[in-house]
Amino acid sequence: MSKVFYETAAIDYANAAPHIGHVYEKIICDFLARFHRLDGYDTNFVTGTDEHGEKIARAAKNAGQEPQAFVDYVSEQLFQPAYQRLLISYDDYIRTTSERHKRYVQEILRKVYEAGDIYYAEYEGLYSVGSERFVTEKELVNGILPGDSEPPILRKEANYFFRMEKYRPWLLEYLAEHPDLIQPQAYRNEVLEMLKEPIGDLSISRPKDRVPWGIPIPWDENHVTYVWFDALLAYVSSLASRGLFEKYWPFAWHVIGKDILKPHAVFWPTMLKSAGLPIYKRLVVHGHILAMDGRKMGKSLG
């Protein structure tokens, strides 16, 4: 049996300086990568920065900078030097503003569009600016999405949607056939509960006149790609751009914090399925280092 290990840490949102929670996850991942290398595995470890979206455009404006200059500073002067000082042994650092990533995102968008899984529609719902996604009433605790500092806002706009609900039966079946896909087991159970009811379709674009900072939708220059559809593809664009997809992707482990379980356990596998790509091998979910008031450490919370 070949001994190959591909590991990704969550790519960090480049809207402010790193904090101890980022370091916690990267040290976990560094340990796993070093352990596998010592055990003779051909190992590839990837992390990077997630650099598009509404929050970053706003942070750049508040800093008096253009978005690209702002994310260049955050990624190159804050995140990467911090991990280099800690000797985090990543093999590639993928930035979502890099040309190699943008090209790959547009390639996958075209595939999913041509498969008939993207359509245009108007939608009105509760939108979490902190998490940059539409949310449901069920997800809120005392009117706020856990991890956010403000309640969601009611937003109505026309976007492109991914037919995510179409793949819910398939995902339930896949989880039944692969009981070790999500670990620890409690998080698998949480995802199964999510999938018991319709999950709806996923809004995957934003109007450029409202959110100009993003990767253009290849067939419509008036829209940019939703930040989660863009960011998740970094796990594959890193390999594809280096000619390493076939070698490493079948062995992919994603290590993430519990707050981003739904995008990784629901959005991501359905996106992969639609694009005709294999599903990752393992999703490993960890808890958080908490502030004194019991909340998760967060850049927006200071």
Q: Residue 292 domain-assigned?
A: no
DSSP element (H, E) containing 248: helix 245-248
Q: What is the pLDDT of residues 206-244, one digit of tens each?
A: 999 988 999 999 999 999 999 999 999 999 999 999 999
Q: Looking at the predicted structure, is the pLDDT value of residue 124 above 90?
A: no
Q: What is the pLDDT of residues 237-253, one digit of tens each?
A: 999 999 999 999 999 99
For the four alpha carbons of 238, 241, 242 and 247, in that order, the dihedral sign comes to positive
Q: Residue 293 domain-assigned?
A: no
The residue segments making up the domain with residue 11 are 4-286
Q: Residue 8 domain-assigned?
A: yes
Cα dihedral: 265, 268, 271, 276 (round 10): -90
Tokens of 247: 């070698």
Domain count, the chain: 1
Q: Residue 297 domain-assigned?
A: no
Q: Residue 296 domain-assigned?
A: no
Using pLDDT thresholds of 50, 70 and 90, give the confidence band for residue 279.
very high
Q: DSSP letter string over 172-209?
A: HHHHHH-TTSEESHHHHHHHHHHTTS----EE-EEETT
Closest CA to 164 of 199, 214, 126: 199
Q: Residue 277 domain-assigned?
A: yes
CA distance to 67, 77, 275, per residue, from 271 (Å): 27, 32, 6
Q: Residue 302 domain-assigned?
A: no
Distance, CA of 227 to CA of 242 (rounded, Å): 23
Q: So what's the pLDDT on residue 147?
A: 72
Contact indicator for 70, 60 with CB cutoff of 8 Å: yes
Distance, CA of 265 to CA of 262 (rounded, Å): 5
pTM value? 0.89
CATH number at residue 172: 3.40.50.620
